[in-house]
Structure 1
Amino acid sequence: MSGRDRVEARLLPPAQLLATAPWAAATAVMLYGLAVWAGWWAMLAVVVIRVLFWLRAMLKFWAAPDEITMIRRHRQWPDMVPYGPERTEPFTALVGAMLDVTKAAGRSDTWLRIVLRTWAPEAAGMALPRRLVAVHISAARELPPHHLRAVVAHELGHQLIGGWIFASIQNLVATPLSDVFGLPSKVLIAVMSVRTRWEIVPTALMAALYGVFLAALTAAMVPAIGLHSAATLAMVCVLQPFPTMWLNWRGEFLADRVAADLGFGPALFDYFSTRGTKFEPFSFSHPGLITREIRICGRVRDWPSDQED
């Protein structure tokens, strides 16, 4: 990565955590209101339950095994840890892609950990803590080698950004409030990605949705901080998904630049251009493919005439 990219990679995770400050404030306000209304024991009970659920999720998240570990466990306990032969071929392809990418990045063969996953088929690759890259088994089986390398290179970019500690804290302080009261903005983002014209009915429905959630969040905080402060904080919280979306997009752009700088930009461009419709809409977590392709074109200087191996 260039010096500018390294700075952005260091600043992005704390910026994403800072963006959740409104939800952290709203959570603290609602907990204080619960303590005033039902007593401090009720507040402590809610905090303990939330932290226990968070710890359970984080332990499962951070302790996710890689494919090598799963194979070893299967050999030790074949009856308890099943491992089907259908995973052998895609795992071999994934190992080859991983070795090519880590070599291009100047990393050791063991720097990245890889695993085949069977959930969330809409995403070919995912970056998880402890340098684990989870590639969907169908992607490892069906993608051409240069596309698979591009996917792994993009996920390596996410691993270089890191910030898993910040992400864990963000999950603790922002959820579940952000999942519930951030829904109107996330719905609006989803609608904006596929709708170029707005008619009266969709506009009225979105306005009503915002009004209901804003009023509910305000009412939940009024007993603790009063109407004016509660309404202001509720408005900031309801609109908070938009700066978070922008930061999510920055992370995707940065991971794309890492892949391009490692020499996998043309393959990544080709992978995007062959993913269904070319005009794939943007989302809360990912920018549109057209925007990503344009940025890759600006990053790559040497375009090979043939991508296939």
Structure 2
Amino acid sequence: MDKPSEHPARPGLPGNPRDDLAYRHRPGTRAEYVAHQRHAGLTAVGRLLLQLPVLLVNLLLVAVAGRALQQWCGLPYGILPGLWLAAGLLAFHRPTETLLARYLLRLHRPLPAELAVLVPVWREVTLRAGVEGDRYELWIEDGPGLTASAAGGHLVIVTRHALETLTTSRLAAVLAHELGHHTAGHTWARLVSWWYALPGRLLWLAFRPVAGAARRAAAQLPVPLAALLLISALWGTYWALTRTYGLALGLVLLPFLSAWVARREELRADRHAAALGFGDVLAGLLAEQPEPAAGGALSLLLSPQPQARTRLHHLQH
């Protein structure tokens, strides 16, 4: 891949005052792709390891459902768990991924005018990274934010507002950040984690009305009975911790550890953008973003997004 310094500055595209890339590869430039265009980084591996307890719990739920189906309709016991495990591979199947993007995430393909802005910038980012850009699919989200995101095995998503508002250098910085999520394996690790936690989420959605009714009923209990239930719950928690040698405590800590891994993923993607020459541009964009209202130490520990000043610190050092 040609060195960025070998290219002179080029003027903006005619009629596009937002085109402010300092340089770009000449049309027709041949790219030298790196051998390993995506890998499993430490944060991706860490996410998968943290999800192992969740996987086991959800596998148990699916196994129970498989046993119930065996008793009710004679379906072989291993069919449902086997289908559930195998179906996770469909999420990486491009046609399936397209259906998920269109109907679950409510995305749409870029229109010709959007492609005219997006494709040259994406090409520049992937050329600098030595990555084959055609491996990924560009999608548009009708959202108000100046953001982009990466999802699944191949999706790169840009909000319409970002496409219409950001200069080309800032758009390139945002895309370079999202490409960093793909090349480091963050997106496929998130997809695996989401898919194999789906049975538990569906069960929770089904029983959430029951839990709400139980909570409201508990609020009406006499104080002595409520205190007895609370003591029983605390005793049950203590029993679980001692009988499982503290493993139950790991489930309590899991959301905090998962959030910490997610924040490390964001900082890793920032470093990827900086390595492609977009560090200063990304820092300028972050400096203009308003900090969300403080929600206390607990909300910070559970947030998957690092604070803007933390990201700026890591970009500048």
- The answer to whether 1:97 aligns with 2:121 is yes
Task: Name 1:261's counterpart in structure 2.
Answer: 275
Contact 2:186 2:265 in 1 (8 A): no
Matched residue type, 2:316: C
Identify the match of residue 161 of structure 2 among 124, 138, 148. Answer: 138
With normalisation by structure 1, the TM-score equals 0.59
User: Aligned in 2, Cα 1:101/1:49: closer, same or farther, shift over 3 Å?
Assistant: closer
Identify the match of residue 274 of structure 1 among 288, 310, 314. Answer: 288
Task: Name 2:307's counterpart in structure 1.
Answer: 288
Contact 2:148 2:156 in 1 (8 A): yes
Task: Name 2:263's counterpart in structure 1.
Answer: 249
Structure with the larger RCO, 1 or 2 (CA within 8 Å, 6+ apart) = 1
Contact 1:154 1:258 in 2 (8 A): yes
User: Aligned in 2, Cα 1:153/1:168: closer, same or farther, shift over 3 Å?
Assistant: closer
Tell me the secondary structure at the aligned position of residue 287 of structure 1.
Answer: coil
Aligned residues: percent identity?
A: 24
The CA distance in 2 between the partners of 1:144 and 1:228, in whole Å, is 57
Matched residue type, 1:294: H
The CA distance in 1 between the partners of 2:123 and 2:257, in whole Å, is 36
Contact 1:115 1:134 in 2 (8 A): yes
TM-superposition CA deviations, 1:144-183 (whole Å, max 9, x none): 22211110110111121025554443234333436888xx
Q: CA RMSD in A?
A: 4.5
Matched residue type, 2:56: A
* 1:198-213 map, 5 Å: none
Contact 2:92 2:153 in 1 (8 A): no
Shift of 1:111: 4.4
- The answer to whether 1:19 aligns with 2:50 is yes
Matched residue type, 1:240: L
The CA distance in 1 between the partners of 2:195 and 2:152, in whole Å, is 16
Count, aligned residues: 238
User: Aligned in 2, Cα 1:174/1:8: closer, same or farther, shift over 3 Å?
Assistant: same
TM-superposition CA deviations, 1:13-37 (whole Å, max 9, x none): 222111012222333455667788x
With normalisation by structure 2, the TM-score equals 0.58
User: Aligned in 2, Cα 1:166/1:100: closer, same or farther, shift over 3 Å?
Assistant: closer
